Amino acid sequence: MNQEALAAWFESGIVHNWMVELYWMFPLMETFHFVGLCLLFGSLLVVDGRVLGIGKFINMNEAMKFIPLAIGAFAINLVSGYTFLTADPNAYLGNIGFQWKIGLIAVAGINALWFWFGEHKELCQLADGADAPFRAKVIALLSVILWVIIIVLGRLIPYTDF
């Protein structure tokens, strides 16, 4: 599917009409997007902070409860992000900042899957105060760095429309 067809598809939905016709929809969705990103980043800070050793005595098993919260927050941002995209798809699809943002979200997603399927089990047995394995630390650091870049890119979208 080329960009024009994709843009037409985004514009064909009812959400597009809401976003264009109701002046308060865009700020409302932006607010959700910001709240969602704080919740997402905050819950990641708990999990990644524990693995990295900043909060060494955070119980690892309990810290994992923040993962569903992160997923819920991501869902808020997926939905609110979709509404921006439907409002003016051509402004986003061809935008280099947006393209990199989506690409890095995919990388962060793969990183999260690696964490869940590769490290989760072993980490849950980690005693309070004990160091996490090096591999897990790499994943956690990568997660924090990726999400910082994703947030930065998101904020830069209005300025990367070359």
Partner 1 sequence: MDQLLLAYENGAVGLFIRESIWGYPIVLASHAVGMATVLGVAWMLCLRVLGFAKGISITSLDKLFIVGWAGFLLNLISGIVLFAGSASVYFYQWTFQLKLGAIILGGILLKFVMNEVRANGSKQKLLAALCAFCWLVGVVTGRLMAYVTA
From the number of C-beta atoms within 10 Å of its C-beta (0-12, 13-18, 19+), residue 142 rates as middle
- Considering the complex, state which of residue 8 and residue 65 has its C-beta at the smaller distance from partner 1: 65
What is d(CA 46, CA 51) in angstroms, rounded to the nearest whole number?
9
| Gyration radius (Cα) of the chain, Å | 18
The CB-of-86 to partner 1 minimum distance in angstroms stands at 20
Of 123, 16, 18, 105, the closest CA to residue 63 belongs to: 123
End-to-end CA distance of the chain: 22
Nearest residue (CB) to partner 1, 65 versus 135: 65
Burial class (CB in 10 A: 0-12, 13-18, 19+), 150: buried
Size of the residue set binding partner 1 (CB under 8 A): 38
Using CB under 8 A as the binding rule, whether residue 155 contacts partner 1 is answered as yes
Query: In the stretch 55-94, what mask flags binding to partner 1 with x, by CB under 8 A?
Result: xxxxx-xxx-xx--x-------------------------
Please give the residues from 9 up to 38 whose contact with partner 1 meets the rule CB under 8 A.
27, 30-31, 34-35, 37-38
Q: Which stretch binds partner 1 (CB under 8 A): 3-11, 44-52, 83-91, 99-107?
A: 44-52
Q: Which of 102, 90, 105, 101 is nearest to 40 (CA)?
A: 105
Torsion angle of the four alpha carbons 120, 122, 124, 126, in this order, in degrees rounded to the nearest 10? -140
- Least distance in Å: CB of 8 to partner 1? 29
Q: Which of 43, 77, 80, 86 binds partner 1 (CB under 8 A)?
A: 43
Q: From the list 17, 18, 25, 49, which residue makes contact with partner 1 (rule: CB under 8 A)?
A: 49
Structural contact between residues 160 and 96, judged by C-beta atoms closer than 8 angstroms: yes
Residue ranges in contact with partner 1 by CB under 8 A: 27, 30-31, 34-35, 37-46, 49, 54-59, 61-63, 65-66, 69, 128, 147-148, 151-152, 154-156, 158-159
